[in-house]
Chain A
Amino acid sequence: MPQVTYVDHDGHETRVDIPVGENVMRGALYNGIEGIVGECGGGLSCATCHCYIDEDWTDTVGGPSSEAEAELLESASGEIRPTSRLSCQVEITPALDGLVVHLPETQF
């Protein structure tokens, strides 16, 4: 099962296994990782699952997967960087085994 590491704002790392087909937001919710809120549950309507893809992974993960994601990212409360994604839109695939994501200080 692919492993994903979440690095919170203070640098604290949590590594979890997430089944293929789930996404980075849900992996956080199921494992009690607090830096992701994901309040709308992946509906592209809340911008509370904002994360920064680690620089080493940006080529593999890519940028926003839709116009709606790019637009909604602008509503995220943390600083928006070129590596910003909404984690509900990052689907877990075997290629993402080892992925590292960084979490903003706050989601709202």
Chain B
Amino acid sequence: MPIDAANPVPPSFPRHVGMDQVPDHVPPELIRQSGLTVGPDFLANPHDFMAALHEKQPPIYYDVSPMGNMWHLIKHEDALFGLRHPEIFSNEGATPFPRDPNDYFYFIPIEIDPPHHRKYRNIVDPVFSPQGVLKLEGQIRQRANDLIDAIEAKVAAGGTCEFTEDYGRPLPVSVFLDIMGLPQNMRDEFVDWAVKLLHSNDRAIMADSMQKITAYLKQAIEEKKANPDDGVVSRIAHATPDGQPLSDKEIFGFVCFLFIGGLDTVFATLNNIWLYLAQNPDKLAEIHARPQDIDKIVEELLRRWSVTFSGRVLDKDFEMRGIQMKKGDRVTFVLPACNFDPEVFPNPKDVDFDRPRKTILAFTVGVHSCMGAHLARLEVKIALQEWLKRIPSFSVKPGTQIEYRPGGVIGPEHLPLVW
């Protein structure tokens, strides 16, 4: 049932956790404890783990996990179907992000299904379209070079480049501030909030940083209401779809979602790609040799190193591949696994810049396709180009143990580089 975005209420469907909470309609032979995002095999090498799901698991299985029990779907074809049918696989209430039940809000537009979804997307699509993001190109190049200046100075002074902190994290945050129309002097504070919110694994710290983010964004929205500019916060605050201004909850939910949606994903993607390139000098040489193919290169790297998942809730009983799923069941489309589907991408773990163009799932598909996809592609492209001009080859600092932590966005925790 469509929800009323202006009057948000917390979702009410049940959450199942653990073996004793497997619903009766789940066939016992499909119950797994795959370890996705939490198990030692996953954490040792998440992308290898997800590629191997095609050998180790059936196309659809019911995963029992401390993160919640849900169906996992790993086939490219099934993800395209499911994600393109929001009337079956609903997004309303499917975003696993805790909010204050007494001051609840929806993340807009990800938690809003059609028909209301497009109303919100039309507000920001001109900014996030391929042509729209190109206006930011010069600024992103400048931000990248500023960070590389700082890295070179740090290394010259005897320090080590910690890629995640020195480039992977601050670059997307800077770009986010630019596109939102927020001041660059907030960069380090935003970095701090994002890290605590998304990586602390401590609910008290998470709640505290969420509170700080909320206070800052609410004040920024008020300021933009009074002093409009061409940034996205102002654009949302002043939008009047169908002639009506958005409510305060809608404005906040929209701005807050962009903050959460945009920061960690590009961060993790950059960290994955730099780790791969640091370990694969032949691919690095190929990228140097093919500057005209940078768009293809970025697309293939995004396929190979995609970082997140799409969660949905069944809005009706539905059968797939002969398996009966029931209304209220949770579903995770394991997007990185879908990008390793050997039926669509032969030799899926090979990074092959000459693969024919196919639909990749790095940014999911369907109406909830990532609105920041073009910005993310541009950021990855510029991050690579500017870095490689100045630091043409690099490797992981000897003795480094690459580690991953449990979570919904996948990338190495630390990445010290030397050159």
Pair from one complex: yes
Binding site for B on A (CB under 8 A): 21, 26, 29-30, 32, 39-47, 67-68, 71-72, 74-75, 108
Contact in complex: B365, A46 (CB < 8 Å): yes
| Residue among A40, A67, A71 with the highest chain B CB neighbour number at 10 A | A40
Known: A46-B359, A108-B80, A108-B84. A41 touches B122 (CB 8 A): no
Q: CA–CA, A72 to B128, complex, Å?
A: 22
Q: Give the contacting residue for A40; candidates B118, B295, B373; CB below 8 A.
A: B373
Q: Give the contacting residue for B374; candidates A29, A39, A43, A47; CB below 8 A.
A: A43
6 tightest A-B CB contacts, nearest first: A71-B357, A72-B357, A39-B369, A68-B357, A71-B356, A42-B130
A71: B residues at CB distance < 8 A: 356-358
Does B131 have its Cβ within 8 Å of any Cβ on chain A?
Answer: yes
Contact in complex: A26, B129 (CB < 8 Å): yes
In the complex formed, the residue of A with least CB distance to B374 is A43
Binding site for A on B (CB under 8 A): 80, 84, 118, 122, 125, 128-131, 295-296, 299, 356-360, 363, 365-367, 369, 371, 373-374, 377
Q: Give the contacting residue for A45; candidates B80, B125, B129, B363; CB below 8 A.
A: B363
In the complex formed, the residue of A with least CB distance to B376 is A43
Contact in complex: A41, B365 (CB < 8 Å): no
Contact in complex: B129, A40 (CB < 8 Å): no
Known: A21-B131, A29-B118. A40 touches B357 (CB 8 A): no
B80: A residues at CB distance < 8 A: 108
Known: A21-B131, A108-B84. A40 touches B363 (CB 8 A): yes
Q: CA–CA, A108 to B122, complex, Å?
A: 22
Instruction: Show 11 residue pairs from A and B whose CB-CB distance is below 8 angstroms, ordered by the A residue.
Output: A40-B365, A41-B128, A41-B373, A45-B360, A45-B373, A67-B357, A71-B356, A72-B357, A74-B356, A75-B358, A108-B84
In the complex formed, the residue of B with least CB distance to A70 is B357
Q: Is the interface of A mostly helix, strand, loop or mixed?
A: loop
| Residue among A29, A46, A68 with the highest chain B CB neighbour number at 10 A | A46
In the complex formed, the residue of B with least CB distance to A74 is B356
Contact in complex: B84, A41 (CB < 8 Å): no
A25 to B: closest C-beta gap in Å: 10
Contact in complex: B359, A75 (CB < 8 Å): yes
A5 to B: closest C-beta gap in Å: 21
A45: B residues at CB distance < 8 A: 299, 357, 359-360, 363, 373
A95 to B: closest C-beta gap in Å: 19
Q: CA–CA, A94 to B269, complex, Å?
A: 40
Q: CA–CA, A20 to B377, complex, Å?
A: 25
B128: A residues at CB distance < 8 A: 41
Contact in complex: A41, B129 (CB < 8 Å): yes
